[in-house]
């Protein structure tokens, strides 16, 4: 079955993690392109401000508070959105956290939170959405993973592992989605200037604004294709580095990140 990309006439869009950063900017970009966007996060005030910010746009943004780690809550939310607004045609599982940890004082909670939000949080939303899209024989879903999921990077044992899992789950589900008529996509951004990265204490090459990122994301939704990745130069370099043998990979990354000089 050939899966067709979704348009605003097919139903509404649902974005998790829409109260800030890439999710917020993507909600606005979709509303600019005519979508009704159901925006989910835990902070209601931020979602209401987002809804107000979209008031002059072609589409609109509606706030739906939810915590992606709450499986029953996500199922209820999907049910509520579809009862009130109609079918979810496009779902973007974007909510995420980036806890960093290092080997000398390994923070087990960093793994727990990264896996709970970035992996289980995605599955909690995907389960009810894919069941409904499967019944309808159409739909489009995308997961915001990261280029940090390609290979191990300094400090990113918990974050990178969760993003590698997110990429892997998208790859695995694509086989069924293709047969169900559902477009499955993975979004792998490089460094985007958001509240999440503003706490980073290391250089972020090719840093991109969240508005630019949102345009790339929505262009990618419209274009189809499995992976949406940007900025192109960073993605290209990291893809090449995926192919390097470990004997070359570790010294190269340590040197490029300055990790060989860190304590």
Ligand X SMILES: NC(=O)c1ccc[n+]([C@@H]2O[C@H](COP(=O)([O-])OP(=O)(O)OC[C@H]3O[C@@H](n4cnc5c(N)ncnc54)[C@H](OP(=O)(O)O)[C@@H]3O)[C@@H](O)[C@H]2O)c1
Q: Angle at Cα 124 formed by Cα 3 and Cα 73, nearest 5°?
A: 125
Which is nearer to ligand X, 3 or 22 (by Cβ)? 22
Work out how close the CB of 41 gets to ligand X at its nearest, in angstroms, rounded to a whole number. 3
Q: What does 90-141 look like in DSSP terms, one character per residue?
A: EEEE-------B-GGG--HHHHHHHHIIIIIHHHHHHHHHHHHHHHHT-EEE
Work out how close the CB of 1 gets to ligand X at its nearest, in angstroms, rounded to a whole number. 29
Q: Which candidate in 100, 159, 246, 249 is catalytic?
A: 159
Q: Confirm whether 100 is a catalytic residue.
A: no
Which is nearer to ligand X, 36 or 194 (by Cβ)? 194
CA distances from 2 to 39, 122, 138, 142, 258 (A): 28, 24, 10, 17, 46
Work out how close the CB of 119 gets to ligand X at its nearest, in angstroms, rounded to a whole number. 11
The angle, 0 to 180 degrees and rounded to 10, between the axes of the packed helices 157-180 and 108-115 is: 20
What's the rounded Cα separation, in Å, for the pair 219 and 29?
Answer: 10
Work out how close the CB of 5 gets to ligand X at its nearest, in angstroms, rounded to a whole number. 21
Which is nearer to ligand X, 166 or 182 (by Cβ)? 166
Beta bridge partners of 40: 16
Which is nearer to ligand X, 21 or 59 (by Cβ)? 21
- Which residue from 70, 174, 160 is spatially nearest to 123, judged by alpha carbons? 70
186 and 122 Cβ atoms separated by less than 8 Å: no
**Exposure b/e, 79-100, CB count within 10 A at least 16 = b:** eebbeebebbbbbbbbbbbbbb
Note the residues at the interface with ligand X (CB under 6 A): 16-23, 41-43, 46, 67-69, 94-98, 117, 121, 144, 146, 189, 191-192, 194-197
Work out how close the CB of 33 gets to ligand X at its nearest, in angstroms, rounded to a whole number. 19
Coil, helix or strand at residue 187: strand
Which is nearer to ligand X, 4 or 97 (by Cβ)? 97
Active-site positions read 159
């Amino acid at each position: 079955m050939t899966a067709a990309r979704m348009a605003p006439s097919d139903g509404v869009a649902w974005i998790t993690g829409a109260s800030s950063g890439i999710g917020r900017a993507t909600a606005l970009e979709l509303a600019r392109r005519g979508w009704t966007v159901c925006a989910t996060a835990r902070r209601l005030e931020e979602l209401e401000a987002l809804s107000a910010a979209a008031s002059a746009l072609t589409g609109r943004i509606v706030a739906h508070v939810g915590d992606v780690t709450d499986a029953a809550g996500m199922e209820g939310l999907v049910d509520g959105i579809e009862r009130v607004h109609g079918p979810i045609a496009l779902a973007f599982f974007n909510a995420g956290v980036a806890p960093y940890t290092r080997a000398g004082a390994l923070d087990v909670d960093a793994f727990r939170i990264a896996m709970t939000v970035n992996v289980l949080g995605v599955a909690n939303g995907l389960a009810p959405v894919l069941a409904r899209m499967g019944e309808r024989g159409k739909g489009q879903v995308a997961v915001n993973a990261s280029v940090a999921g390609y290979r191990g990077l300094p400090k990113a044992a918990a974050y990178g592992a969760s993003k590698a899992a997110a990429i892997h789950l998208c790859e695995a589900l694509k086989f069924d989605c293709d047969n169900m008529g559902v477009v499955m996509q993975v979004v792998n951004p490089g460094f985007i200037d958001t509240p999440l990265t503003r706490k980073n204490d290391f250089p972020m090459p090719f840093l991109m604004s969240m508005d630019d990122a949102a345009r790339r994301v929505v262009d990618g939704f419209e274009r189809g294709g499995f992976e949406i990745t940007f900025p192109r130069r960073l993605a290209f370099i990291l893809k090449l580095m995926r192919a390097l043998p470990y004997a070359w990979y570790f010294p190269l990354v340590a040197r490029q990140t300055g990790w060989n000089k860190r304590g």
